[in-house]
Amino acid sequence: MGSVAFVRLNCDAYLTCLMHALSNETEEVMGLCIGEMIEKISGCEINISAVLLLRRMDKRKDRVEISVEQLSNASSYAEELAIKSGKNLRIVGWYHSHPHITVWPSHVDVQTQAMYQMMDETFVGLIFSCFNENKANLHQTVEMICFQSLTSMDDSSQYQRLEVPMYLERTQCLSEANLQTLTSLPKTLMHEECEAYDAVIKSCGNCILTKLHNASVHTQSVCNITETVISPLLQILEQTHTNHKLKIKEVEAENEELRKMLAELEASSITENKAS
Ligand SMILES: [Zn+2]
């Protein structure tokens, strides 16, 4: 039995993770989950309400460690959110993507998770498996799981994964924190792309053909970010904006109706007082 009974993931935080996971088809992406832990008789419940994107320092396959500096910055951010929301928010877990591979945590993932649990036994890990295509109908699917690590029954020096039940919690709108994180995604990707391009042009010498090739690859990557990240994000934000405008109209109409009812009640109360 693990230390966490189940995890609730807010829909807007899920959307942010998903956009991040779908932003890179060749490399894993990662981030941290912010939320609160609620202790109940049935066990400990983790509610994830926001996420924070992280840059992977070590881009080798399966290497998704988080640096001390990243953890420290993320803790400060979680504290800011806690003050703003009045909730007991902190870093409660991490997530990473598995592009084109199974959703199950690798041996390294389970070890990394065990290391985090040494600092916080209720820390959870989320994995988003994406870009998996059904060869028959060419439909792509996204799978996600939440897991913790347990000491292996067979060998106490080894760890094994433990699946943690996870539910999506419906949210009325995108929270300010998740909106900020979502809009920071294109900036982060562009920054990474430009950094990689700068490093390449410094080392490629004066060969014009090589320079042209590198510039073309860079342009292609920037177009790819626009097509796969910025354009869908813009659509989501435009739709959210339209929904908010409709909601405002509904609330204004309701407000007007209530004002009329109040005025009628006041008028009838004055008439009754005069009559008595
Ligand atoms: Zn992994």
Cα separation, 159 vs 152, whole angstroms: 5
- 8 Å CB contact between 55 and 195: no
Contacting residues for 162 by C-beta, under 8 A, at least 6 apart: 2, 147, 148, 149, 150
140 CA to centre of ligand 1 in angstroms: 19
Q: How far is the CA of 5 from the centre of ligand 1 (A)?
A: 22
Q: Which of 131, 166, 181 is nearest to 20 (CA)?
A: 181
Handedness of CA 134, 94, 66, 154 (dihedral sign): negative
**What per-residue confidence (pLDDT) applies to 98?**
94
Distance in Å, CA 126 to ligand 1 centroid: 9
Output the tens digit of pLDDT for each of the chain's 276 residues. 568 999 999 999 999 999 999 988 888 999 999 999 999 888 899 999 999 998 876 666 666 678 888 888 999 999 999 999 999 999 999 999 999 999 999 999 999 999 999 989 999 999 999 998 888 887 888 999 999 999 877 777 788 999 999 999 998 888 999 999 999 999 988 988 898 888 888 887 788 888 899 999 999 999 988 998 899 889 988 998 998 899 999 999 999 999 999 999 999 888 888 777
116 Cα–ligand 1 center, Å: 14
Cα of 180 vs centre of ligand 1, distance in Å, is 26
Going from the Cα of 215 to the center of ligand 1, the distance in angstroms, rounded, reads 32
Locate 153 and state its tokens. 């029954």
Question: What's residue 264's pLDDT?
Answer: 93
Question: Which long-range CB contacts under 8 A does 36-39 form with residues at least 24 apart?
Answer: 36/87, 36/88, 36/89, 36/90, 36/92, 37/88, 37/90, 37/92, 37/122
pLDDT tens sequence across 199-216: 888 887 788 888 899 999
- Distance (angstroms) between ligand 1 centre and the Cα of 84 equals 33
Reading the block at residue 97, the tokens are 């993507």
Strand 124-133, strand 90-99: pairing: parallel
Ligand 1 centroid to Cα of residue 51, in Å, is 18
The hierarchical CATH code for the domain 4-169 is 3.40.140.10
143 CA to centre of ligand 1 in angstroms: 13
Between the CA of 109 and the centroid of ligand 1 the distance, in Å, is 5
Domain residue extents for the chain: 4-169, 176-256
- Residue 147 alpha carbon to ligand 1 centre in Å: 11
Contact 23, 228 (CB under 8 A): yes
CA of 208 to the centre of ligand 1 (A): 39
CA of 160 to the centre of ligand 1 (A): 14
Per-residue confidence (pLDDT) for residue 16, from 0 to 100: 94
The DSSP 8-state label assigned to residue 99 in this structure reads E
pLDDT of residue 152: 77
Task: Using the mean position of ligand 1's atoms as its centre, give its distance from the Cα of residue 142 in Å.
Answer: 15
Distance 141 CA to ligand 1 centre (A): 17
Compute the distance from residue 134 Cα to the ligand 1 centre, in Å.
21
Quote the pTM value. 0.82
Q: What is the pLDDT of residues 25-59, one digit of tens each?
A: 888 999 999 999 999 888 899 999 999 998 876 66
Residue 159 pairs in a beta bridge with: 151
Q: Tell me which residue of 97, 105, 122 sits closest to 161, measured CA to CA.
A: 105
Looking at residue 2, what is its pLDDT? 62
In the prediction, which pLDDT does 200 show? 86
In sign, the C-alpha dihedral spanning 30, 32, 38, 41 is positive
Give the pLDDT of residue 201: 85
How far is residue 96's CA from residue 128's CA, in Å, rounded to a whole number? 6
